[in-house]
Amino acid sequence: MNPAISNLALMMVMMQVSRRLDLENPDILLYVRLAYLACQLIAFGVCFYVKFAINKKNDLTTLKYVEPANPMAGQTEPKAVVTTVKEYDLKQVDQQIKGLCTSLAMMGFMHLYMKYTNPLVMQSVSSVKSALETNIVKIHLWGSPASGDLKRPFKQAPGLLQALQGAGGDIKTDKASIDAAETSGAGGIKEE
């Protein structure tokens, strides 16, 4: 099933659940908070398990690719990146953990400071669902082969600003692009 459609369906179901709950009742609110925290712990647990699996596998195969220029960071030319599969995978998991922390901070602000309770119900299950649907989890937890859409480096959808500017945000893995980036000014940078 398409993740966008399943996310929409999940949000509709969770909206109906949140409407039926009496979130003014302190007992029910406590259970909703505990359920939200439990779901966040499950999502973090998935990330840390995948991180453990990556370290255990210790795949030191060299991975070369070219990242597109990022004008917002002051980059004018594409950057050649030389890394290992292990380092690349760990970087992907770290990005996932950062996203979970950001989501947790935003939800904490919205709930504790602004007193919104409905987002707790709607975001509780979606964080676990999105954690289980990432490419890195599909490879290391579900055992899917790293081919097709799961081939490293992963294709990333363009961000909002890139889509508005029409900038191509494709990561290139062909030999000609790698050679061109390595011979230009920012070539052969090893990711740490």
Distance CA 59, CA 54 (A): 8
pLDDT at 161: 52
pLDDT along the chain (192 residues), means of 10: 83 89 91 94 97 95 85 76 94 96 94 88 88 93 90 74 54 70 59 52
Distance CA 192, CA 72 (A): 21
Residue ranges per structural domain of the chain: 1-182
Burial class (CB in 10 A: 0-12, 13-18, 19+), 19: exposed
Q: Answer whether 172's CB lies under 8 Å from 66's CB.
A: yes
Distance CA 97, CA 43 (A): 9
pLDDT at 44: 97
Distance CA 151, CA 139 (A): 10
pLDDT at 7: 84
pLDDT at 136: 95
Nearest-Å Rg of the Cα atoms of the chain is 20
Please give the model's pTM, rounded to 2 decimal places: 0.82
Longest Cα–Cα distance in the chain:
65
pLDDT at 76: 74
Distance CA 139, CA 126 (A): 20
